[in-house]
Amino acid sequence: MLGCDQHTAVLDHDAIVGLLTTVPAGDLYRRADGVRHDSVGDAVHLRGLIEFSNYCRNDCMYCGIRRSNAHVKRYRMTREELVETARRAVDIGFQTIVLQSGEDMHFDQAGMCRIIEAIKRMDVALTLSIGERDYADYKAFREAGADRYLLRIETTDTDLYHRLNPGMSWQRRHECLLMIKELGYELGSGIMVGQPGQTIDSIADDLLYFRGIGIDMAGIGPFIPHPDTPLAGEASGTLELALRVMAAMRLLMPDINIPATTAMETLHPQGRIMALQAGANVVMPNVTEGEYRRLYELYPGKICVNDTPVHCRSCIGLKIKSIGRTIGQGWGGHVTHRNY
Ligand code: 5AD
Ligand code: FES
């Protein structure tokens, strides 16, 4: 809306690099906060995140639940547990449920569809974040009622991608994003900032890639080394760069949904609030229950592992109100103006 064109018209690759490096961070955050205010308003939409299985067929070098990490105690919720967890999240006010897992093919097409149908009967928006599947699966999940899909591209540097995601194909992942979009899902993607070997230039390319394919949501979080992975000894990403990337994303695509990510808060106790004041308009509190919360350890130091869904819901609600923002009502989907 107002101001968007003026803020985004000049954002080519070099301008984005400037935002990520030389522009004073405070100025960038304020600008992104202004664009966020003008284009999506002051409401912060909450999504209840259920981490329902930590089995994964992949072996990403950075990920704590990678297949070859033998230290992980694996779990998989039953359908009943999962639907009950969703029910409780809906009862405490969540109007979007996000189902996330490793790439666990135990949940086959028919099994996922039953779960999707059960949750959609609760009259909420449903987001899937279960990785790469084939077209028939994506289509069936969509027809069963899934509204949105999250699949981070992680990086558009294909060499880096292939180094850090052995056995996977960047092209294949890109095609998954296109299929998801074509099927009419709201498409969420994103990157991990500070991956070993990632360059600022490649991050600028990532942001332009997202604008090119027309994502509806961008999840951007810092890389945090996990001790049981091959990247254990690498440096962590920084909160500042993650916030800069997120803020630049807001300038580039003013009306999309952008979460203040959990990994940001792992690096700083106010990380999510800082993000909400630098372009973010979504928070995805964990509504997984009991022991599962700590077993879904993609990276160490994950916040809230000893808390309950009710506690997290009220904690984040208070934080949001303390910075003068409101809790979003309704499903909070992407309402696009697409003037970029
Ligand atoms: N540090 C930060 N984020 C991570 N993810 C996976 N492993 C890590 C890590 N070590 C992110 C990936 C993935 C999302 C679900 O979690 O970007 O897409
Ligand atoms: Fe599971 Fe990477 S190890 S998606």
Over residues 153-193, the pLDDT tens digits come to: 999 999 999 999 999 999 999 999 999 999 999 999 999 99
Burial class (CB in 10 A: 0-12, 13-18, 19+), 78: exposed
CB distance 102 to ligand 2 below 6 Å: yes
pLDDT at 340: 78
Residue type, 94: F
CB distance 65 to ligand 2 below 6 Å: yes
- Which atom in ligand 1 lies closest to the alpha carbon of residue 192? 17
User: Closest by alpha carbon to 176, among 163, 166, 185?
Assistant: 185
- Mind listing the pLDDT tens digit for each residue in 132-142? 999 999 999 99
Looking at the predicted structure, is the pLDDT value of residue 2 above 70? no
pLDDT at 8: 52
Average pLDDT along the chain: 96
Average pLDDT over residues 254-280: 98
Mutation test residue for ligand 1: of 51, 52, 56, 63, the one with most atoms within 8 Å of CB: 63
Q: How many CB atoms lie within 10 A of CB 273?
A: 21
Tokens read off for 178? 């296109």
Looking at the predicted structure, is the pLDDT value of residue 47 above 80? yes
Taking the CA atoms of 31, 33, 37 and 39 in sequence, report the sign of the dihedral they define.
Answer: positive
Out of 7-21, 98-112, 147-161, 281-295, which region has the weakest mean confidence (pLDDT)? Answer: 7-21
pLDDT at 329: 95
Burial class (CB in 10 A: 0-12, 13-18, 19+), 329: exposed
- Mind listing the pLDDT tens digit for each residue in 100-116? 999 999 999 999 999 99
- Which atom in ligand 2 lies closest to the alpha carbon of residue 165? 2
pLDDT at 129: 98
User: Closest by alpha carbon to 329, among 96, 21, 57?
Assistant: 96
Tokens read off for 170? 């960047």
Pocket of ligand 1 (CB under 6 A): 62-63, 152, 154, 192, 221, 223-224, 226, 263, 298-299
Distance, in Å, from the CA atom of 20 to the CA atom of 155, rounded to the nearest integer, reads 16
Average pLDDT over residues 207-225: 98
CB distance 103 to ligand 2 below 6 Å: yes
**Max alpha carbon distance in the chain (Å)?**
53
pLDDT at 68: 98
pLDDT at 336: 83
pLDDT at 9: 57
Distance, in Å, from the CA atom of 97 to the CA atom of 261, rounded to the nearest integer, reads 16
Asked if 257 and 20 touch (Cβ cutoff 8 Å), the reply is no
Q: How far is the CA of 65 from the centre of ligand 1 (A)?
A: 10
Looking at the predicted structure, is the pLDDT value of residue 4 above 80? no
Distance, in Å, from the CA atom of 3 to the CA atom of 30, rounded to the nearest integer, reads 14
Asked if 83 and 94 touch (Cβ cutoff 8 Å), the reply is no
Number of H helices, E strands in the chain: 14, 10
pTM for this prediction: 0.96
Asked if 287 and 88 touch (Cβ cutoff 8 Å), the reply is yes
